[in-house]
Amino acid sequence: MKIYFPFLALTILSFWSCNPTQEKPLIEAIIASKDITQIRKAKQELQTEKSELDAQITLLSKAIENLAPNQKIPLVTITKVNQQEFKHYIELQGTVETKDNRVLTPEFAGNLSKIYVQEGQKVSKGQLIAEINDGGLKDQLSGLEVQKALAKTTFERQERLWNQQIGSEIQYLQAKTNYESIQNSIAQLEANLKKTKITAPFSGIIDDIITEEGTIVSPGMSQIARIVSLKNMYVRANVPEKYLETIKKNTKVNVSLPVLSKSTESTIQKTSNYIQPSSRTFEIEIPLKNTDRILKPNLTARLKINDYTNKKALLIEQQLISENANGEQYIYLVTKNKKGQDIAKKQIITTGKTQGDFVEILTGLKANAILISEGARSIKEGQQIKIINP
């Protein structure tokens, strides 16, 4: 291409080379003339000059590229892909609970005559907690005991006579029936009297006194007190049904208690056989040791459960994976061309599970492959590259 400058541009450049401070006055002079024809002409000449200069710069850039090609080779870093153990975890939220957390309710209707414990008091299994007025059952029992003694004597006498074939059979049977009837009545009264006493079903702490003395209580309606034991603690959580095959009994779990800044290792002791239709989840239980009694019911727990392990996994950072227009995922590997130069090779891959910043590669990648890491986003298939961390 022939290089030339329009007359006006040459004049401006020559004038400026002699006296750079005069370029501005020359342009201003043209503008000051207010001759629209001259102003347009000057603008057109400068635009033509700019286009020709751009074309010349392009030619010069190509020449530089041909003479010094290495200056355009992208710089990249590489990493070697090794096999390693990969553990995938699911994270869930659960609630700390206790097996021994019960509200004591009466089995007998009447006046709550006495409460024998206080809130916060430790109690033993079978210890008397409260008592309901028996409404005269004890007096009835005393009367029946007297009748029982008489009925027993009568029955034993009639039995001896009957064995000696003295007296009638009907007298013997009446005495026997009367004695057995009184025994049954006494047993029923004793059972009802037992219901008037509310005892601790297990050893624990009286967490709350719900009903005061003197209150009329009834079975199935009234609540007397809450007793809690912090010994048999566990975490209950709901797991999505898609993990039904991988989350099973004896699966290891890391349990974190954020409020207490505490974590511990445990295993799943129970998995539910029922899937909740509303949430599509099933329930699991993880036991917790509470030797220092610091765990309390309804604490929030975070669970980290290992649901998948691959001892020979190939892992790469997620940020190194790109996707083409067909939705295929790919990475760039390092290979050699015929000249022995390092070039980039696009490799289609399929991915597996993800953990943190890393993803498992299922197909398309082999152990010891050389992966392009930094610079992978700015290269193309087959492009020559320069490795800066060989």
**What is the rounded distance in angstroms from the CA atom of residue 191 to the CA atom of residue 89?**
54
Q: Is 264 found in the same domain as 160?
A: no
Return the SS3 of 50: helix
Quote the pLDDT of residue 72.
72
Q: Is 326 found in the same domain as 277?
A: no
Q: What is the CATH number of the domain that holds 248?
A: 2.40.30.170
**What is the rounded distance in angstroms from the CA atom of residue 137 to the CA atom of residue 115?**
20
- In a domain? residue 333: yes
Quote the pLDDT of residue 65.
65
**What is the rounded distance in angstroms from the CA atom of residue 90 to the CA atom of residue 148?**
69
Q: Is 333 found in the same domain as 305?
A: no
Q: Is 115 found in the same domain as 213?
A: yes
> Which residues in the chain land under pLDDT 70?
1-25, 64-71, 390
**What is the rounded distance in angstroms from the CA atom of residue 146 to the CA atom of residue 182?**
10
Of 275, 303, 273, 276, the closest CA to residue 287 belongs to 303
Range of the domain at 131: 109-226
Q: Is 303 found in the same domain as 278?
A: yes
What is each CA distance from 325 to 328, 330, 344, in whole angstroms? 7, 11, 19
- In a domain? residue 361: yes
Quote the pLDDT of residue 42.
85
Tokens of 266: 């445990």
Q: Is 95 found in the same domain as 239?
A: yes
Query: Whole-prediction pTM value?
Result: 0.57
Quote the pLDDT of residue 7.
43
Quote the pLDDT of residue 208.
93
What is each CA distance from 105 to 131, 181, 198, 226, in whole angstroms? 11, 31, 8, 9
Of 91, 77, 79, the closest CA to residue 315 belongs to 79
- Domain final residue pick, 293, 309, 325: 309
**What is the rounded distance in angstroms from the CA atom of residue 28 to the CA atom of residue 162?**
150
Beta bridge partners of 314: 83
* Number of folded domains that form the chain: 4
Quote the pLDDT of residue 5.
38
Q: Is 221 found in the same domain as 163?
A: yes
Q: What is the CATH number of the domain that holds 178?
A: 2.40.50.100
- In a domain? residue 373: yes
- Domain final residue pick, 256, 278, 309: 309
- In a domain? residue 1: no
- Domain final residue pick, 171, 204, 226: 226
- In a domain? residue 104: no
Q: Is 184 found in the same domain as 44?
A: no
Q: Is 177 found in the same domain as 123?
A: yes
- Exposure string of 94-120, with b = 16+ CB inside 10 Å and e = fewer, is bebbbebbbebbbebbbebeebebeee
- In a domain? residue 198: yes
Q: Is 235 found in the same domain as 199?
A: no
Q: Is 218 found in the same domain as 176?
A: yes
Quote the pLDDT of residue 25.
53
- In a domain? residue 156: yes
- In a domain? residue 2: no
Got the DSSP string for 122-136? EE-TT-EEEEE--TT
Q: Is 158 found in the same domain as 249?
A: no
